[in-house]
Amino acid sequence: MLFRHPKADLFVPDQSDPAQAFARVTHLGIVSHQDDLEIAAYHGITECFRREDKWFGGVVVTNGSGSPRKGPYAEYTDEGMQEVRKQEQRKAAFVGEYSVMVQLGYPSDEVKHTRREDVSADILSILKMTQPQFVYLHNPADRHDTHVATFLRCLEALRSLPKEARPQKVYGCEVWRKLDWLLTDDKVMLWVDQFPHLISALIAVFDSQISGGKRYDLAEEGLRRANATYFDSHTTDNTNSLTFAMDLTPLILDDKLDPEAFALGFVDRLKEDVRTRIRKFQ
């Protein structure tokens, strides 16, 4: 299991043979930072939790450098914080019963610029070893630069697979730009109410972030409940916990489909909906 960065880390929570752990993955999340998986790919985690026929695999591309340091972490060096973040991600993989957890260890700048081909090649290797049915990525409209770069590296890797080896579905998920703005027909609605306690348990593992002043544990639980309630104004709630995604599958069905044009299509449809609604009653 050789990856291209010397800080790459492989963790198999149940200590299975690594080849077996990769091969049994059915749902794969690939994200930029430690704790992004537990936010963006939470649907995949819950789909596989406590199951023997479905397994979640996680990939974090960057090394956690530049994390904020407050409270008990205020005196940590950047290297020290990277180690904390790595261990937190391992703990989350154990709590969530992931099949395998890979942290590729790249600094953000290498994902965005200097080692793009290496990052894509590592992701391609993981896709070949796992052959997942479902893949969870950052959405291309995310407002975090590293998230968008990671999405593009993932798309490059997915398009390098033979057509018959590609996933059934690819989802672009919420982290730093939420997707409640999507039109109803453009939303993929992912129900995440199977294990109501699990989101708090997973995110609480990332104490370095929570102690640093970011209450992701409270925010994410509240967001999912708000999504469920505000999804539709004319019906009662069918679930109490909902997350939204873009269906990115068209981007792996058609290699000529430009990701920029694809993403802007969602914006254009929103723009037209706003225009039509205002003009209808003006």
Q: pLDDT tens for residues 18-27?
A: 999 999 999 9
pLDDT at 234 over 60: no
pLDDT at 39: 94
Q: Among residues 104, 76, 141, 154, which one has the least CA distance to residue 3?
A: 104
| C-alpha dihedral sign at 158, 164, 167, 168 | positive
Tally Cβ neighbours within 10 Å of residue 168.
11
C-beta of residue 273 within 8 angstroms of C-beta of residue 182: no
- Check whether 239 has a pLDDT greater than 90: no
Give the pLDDT confidence of 60-73 residue by residue, as tens digits. Answer: 999 988 777 777 88
DSSP string, 134-160: EEEEE-TT-S-HHHHHHHHHHHHHHHH
Q: What is the average pLDDT across 51-56?
A: 97
Q: What's the pLDDT score for residue 166?
A: 98
Q: Is 235 a residue whose pLDDT tops 70?
A: no
Q: Which residue has 């995440």 as its token pair?
A: 192
For the stretch 76-103, pLDDT in tens is 898 999 999 999 999 999 999 999 999 9
Q: Could you tell me the residue ranges of all domains in the chain?
A: 9-256
Percent of the chain at pLDDT exceeding 90: 77
User: Residue 139: its pLDDT value, please?
Assistant: 98
Query: 247 and 171 in contact (C-beta within 8 Å)?
Result: yes
* pLDDT at residue 236 greater than cutoff 80: no
Are the CB atoms for 124 and 160 separated by under 8 Å? Answer: yes
**CATH no. of 9-256:** 3.40.50.10320
CA R_g for the chain = 19
Please give the single-letter amino acid code of residue 158. Answer: L
3-state helix, strand, coil in the chain (%, to 5): 50, 15, 35
For residue range 148-200, what is the model confidence (pLDDT) as tens digits?
999 999 999 999 999 999 999 999 999 999 999 999 999 999 988 888 889 88
pLDDT at position 233, please? 64
First to last CA, the chain: 62
